Structure 1
Amino acid sequence: MKFPGQRKHKHYFPVDQKHPLTNKISEDVVYKHPYIVGIDQILVDITARVGTEFIEDFALEKGMSQVIDNDKAEALYQALMANGLIEHQFAGGTVGNTLHNYSVLADDRSVLLGVMSENIQIGSYAYRYLCNTSSRVDLDHLQPVAGPVGRCFTLITEEGERTFAINAGLMNRLTEEFVDENLIKDASALVISAYLMRGSEEDTIAEATMKAVKYANEVGVPVVLTLGTKFFIEQDPQWWRDFINEHVTILAMNEEEGEALTGESETLIAADKALEWVDLVLCTAGPVGLYTAGYTDDQYKRETEHALLPTPIPEFNRYEFSRPMRKADCENPIKIYSHIAPYMGGPDEIKNTNGAGDGALSALLHDISANVFHAENVPDSSKHRQHALSYSSFSQICKYANRVSYEVLVQHSPRLSRGLPEREENLEESYWDR
């Protein structure tokens, strides 16, 4: 387990442990390693450059997003392969992206639940999914299916027009039998997305997801929900409010999804509104940056050393150096908020916006699991006198999430190929660790 940021204080977990009498490194020390579990629709994003005639040959509406059946998807894929038109084949899926990035950042295990084609050919899209997923992501619990996983084709014509063709394949056929109760209950967090909860009558992934959520809720494992798209939420916002209020601990969203869920156009107010239902909110806001909002106990509040910001909530970031807690664990809960502008003002060239929010969430999950790791291995540390959700403060989480999002924006893939650079001035030690 790598720890986020740079820390030089006693709270940082030691890389070795010496015997108290001999002052020598103990060779029999075995650290307990936490893990997170995620459920996802397994899909591959396929990008190709084609001519207008190619679009017409497959009866696709140019410049539009459309759903295609399995036969057309397979014929389309084979034609792209035969003509050498494919530019990129990236593993996709919002939770899959998040787990991959988490494992790259933490250099530790995560577990992905979903379906995978049981017959995989070298060079195929299913093969690419496996190749583009960190070896730290445990894929042993995937459900084998006799058919394709999901495919999202992005077809770019000469003038730059993008046509999207989406085929679900069998990605929504995860069944309850492949949701292991002990796996969920021993996890540091369960990550799901809004995409999982609605589907056709023959889809079973929603039932499997609810079974996992039930297991997590029974033992207090944090359930982390990423909203995914505003169009999905605005169809029935009250259903989502009820679901979140009953089952979700941590909510990840962008400003559009926040407005669809809460009815509030101001991002900070939307995050504040969401605290009626959850304990912690991570909200990305494009060029504005990102926000965190949550709770801490009044006795543990820590005042910021940054400038106080004028917003609809006056001096909202006053206690941003506090660490997040579940509201139920606070004797006297108070709301805490933090904000950060885009890292370095944002990249000079944005190569990909898909996955920036997933990258931010992976940073938050890393900080949460680091806290669990430290608590399990150094339970007597003064760090854990406070029953916090995360290892770091609201402010530090913002910095870390912001930096990871930047790294995703400057590359084509939504998945990190490496960790962050070793020396990061922006990832200074948190106030708690000073």
Structure 2
Amino acid sequence: MKFPGRRKIKHYFPVNADNRFDRESMTFGHTNTYVCGIDQNIVDIYAHVDDSILADFGLAKAASQLMDNETANQLYHYLSFQKLIDNQYAGGTIGNTLHNYSILADDRSVQFGVMSQNIRVGDYSYGYLCNTSSKVDLTQLQPVDGPIGRCYTLITPDGERTFGISPGLMNNLSPEYISEDIIKGSSALVLCAYTLGDESLPIYQATIKAASLAKKHDVPVLLTLGTYSLVTAIRERLSQFISDYVTLVAMNEEEALALTEQSDPLLASEAALNLTDMVLLTAGPEGLYISGYTEKTLARETDNPLVSAGITDYNRYEFSRPLLKKDCVEPLKVYSHISPYMGGPDKIKNTNGAGDGALAAVLHDLAANRFHRQVLPTSSKHKKPWLTYSSFSQVCKYANRVSYEVLAQSSPRLSRALPEQEDSLEESYWER
């Protein structure tokens, strides 16, 4: 069963007199569901070093700084020769999201970006490939004669971490390598604001092309924001891009403040809905919020206790399903919030990737909805062009659970599907 991956029919397709399908449709082999995205491909390189090495390579201790390619190459050769490299992990916000989607959905995703055309076993490019799910289709990557991005995390004996970032050729993605056929057939396009930071870079033009093609073919566009400083620097241009192309914006509370000038997560979500159709806002120990629009006459009231914060009784209609604002006769803003799953992990060593994990869960639900609509277009689930298969509340639960798993394993990339995913998670999350 493929929903989009191998799934159990009984959880998703309860048969009743008004919703039957023939035996041929039970194979679902004719439906090709996938998502795609653009990333600045980068590798995170971890090494334990002495303070003298920082001085030799001109790195300020406990700071984050840019490195030129020559210095980055010299540092890599030195660390490799001295066998000081602990690990090399695939990084990148969109790369993490696509990998996690493919783990959760057990299905294909397509990644646009660049990759070194000369790869040696054991080098950083090889490490990137090894840490990416085989379900992520990398055949669309543009080969480049040089390094992809590298982010060095150098840990000194006192435990301090020093970061050196070398972009390499990760921003050299040409618009020519953006396939219209791939985007046209995808369930969603996932982008990051990082690629919109510099209009002079090739990857900026590639991003604009991809977003334009997605709009042309009515493919939802999901945009995750970068950092507070980036959003602040390109706020006006970013807001216009969101208004023109984006279906869902994913951000944390700092990025939300930079975009909307609202510090309250609910009010920031409300403000962001003036630019886009749906918002995922992760707020650290406070949990996460998902908001969007639904048709007022079809809104479903929650069974949970009503909660007020910046907005009175904001969760009243959280059992509703999201719609594009343009598809609503009477648009109604809907908000749902959830606290960290089980209070969050006992120990959190690294918060990187928690938001990417949450976004992958939303992406999975969105792709599942498209899959179900393709194989059962007459289902009562599709009387309106809903964005997701599940309600705001249920998508919140799923995103929260995946975020927890990422934090618990201290890695931005899931190594396996959720422990109970084949049973209780699927039955509860998808049936709402």
The alpha-carbon distance between structure 1 residues 338 and 8, as it changes in their structure 2 partners (threshold 3 A), is: farther
- Secondary structure of the residue aligned to 2:233 is coil
Q: Secondary structure at the match of 2:321?
A: coil
Mapping of 1:244-255 within 5 angstroms?
Answer: 244-255=242-253
**Is residue 303 of structure 2 the alignment partner of residue 302 of structure 1?**
no
SS at 2:163's partner residue? strand
1:370 paired to 2:365: no
Task: Report the alpha carbon displacement of residue 263 of structure 1 after superposing the two structures with TM.
Answer: 0.2
CA displacement at 1:3 relative to structure 2: 6.4
Partner of 1:194: 193
Q: Which runs of 5+ in 2 are unaligned?
A: none
Structure 1 position 6, deviation (Å): 9.3
> Partner residue of 1:63?
62
1:198 Cα deviation from its structure 2 partner? 2.0
- TM-score norm. by structure 2 comes to 0.94
Q: What's the CA shift for 1:30?
A: 2.6
Quick one: which amino acid aligns to residue 163 of structure 1?
T
Tell me the secondary structure at the aligned position of residue 372 of structure 1: helix
Counterpart residue type for residue 106 of structure 1? A
Q: How far off is 1:27 after superposition?
A: 8.8
TM-superposition CA deviations, 1:284-329 (whole Å, max 9, x none): 0000000001000112211111111121111100110111110111
Q: Is the 8 A contact 1:6 1:429 kept in 2?
A: no
1:147 counterpart residue number? 146
> Residue 159 of structure 1: CA displacement?
1.2
Match runs of 1:33-112 below 5 Å: 33-112=32-111
Match of 1:218 in 2: 216
Distance 1:9 1:161, change over 3 A: closer
Equivalent residue, structure 2, for 1:240 = 238
Q: Structure 2 vs 1, CA of residues 9 and 102 (structure 1 numbering), >3 Å: closer, same or farther?
A: closer
Task: List structure 1 segments (4+ residues) > 6 angstroms apart after TM superposition.
Answer: 3-7, 24-28
Q: Superposition pairs for residues 30-429 of structure 1, below 5 Å?
A: 30-199=29-198, 201=200, 203-422=201-420, 429=428
Q: For the residues of structure 1 that align with 2:253 and 2:15, how far apart are their CA atoms? A: 35
Task: For residue 239 of structure 1, report the CA deviation from its aligned partner.
Answer: 2.0
**Cα distance between partner residues in 2 of 1:341 and 1:93:** 26
* Worse-superposed segment, 344-353 or 287-296: 344-353
Q: In 1, are the aligned partners of 2:4 and 2:367 still within 8 Å (CA)?
A: no
TM-score (norm 1): 0.93
Q: CA deviation at 1:366?
A: 0.3
User: What is the total number of aligned residue pairs between the two structures?
Assistant: 427
Question: Counterparts of 2:348 and 2:143 in 1: how far apart (Å)?
Answer: 36
For 1:13 and 1:102, the matched residues in 2 are separated by 28
Q: How far 1:272 moved relative to its partner?
A: 0.7
Which ranges of structure 1 fall in alignment gaps of 5 or more residues? none
Amino acid at match of 1:393: S
**Alignment deviations for residues 214-263 of structure 1 (CA, whole Å, 9 cap, x no partner):** 11111211111100211101113222212211111110000000000000
Q: RMSD of the TM alignment (CA)?
A: 2.3
Q: Kindly indicate which of the two structures has a greater share of residues assigned to helix.
A: 2
One-letter code aligned to 2:67: I
Contact persistence 2:4–2:33 (CA under 8 A): no
TM-superposition CA deviations, 1:82-111 (whole Å, max 9, x none): 222222211000000000000000000100
Give deviations 1:118-176, integer Å, cap 9, x for gaps: 00000000001001001110000000000000000011111111110000000000001
Residue type at the aligned position of 2:308: P
In the TM superposition, residue 392 of structure 1 has moved relative to its aligned partner by 0.4
The percent of aligned pairs where both chains have the same amino acid is 54
Checking the alignment, whether the CA contact within 8 Å between 1:110 and 1:137 is kept in structure 2 is yes
Change (3 A) 1:311 1:27: closer
- For 1:344, the aligned partner's letter is M
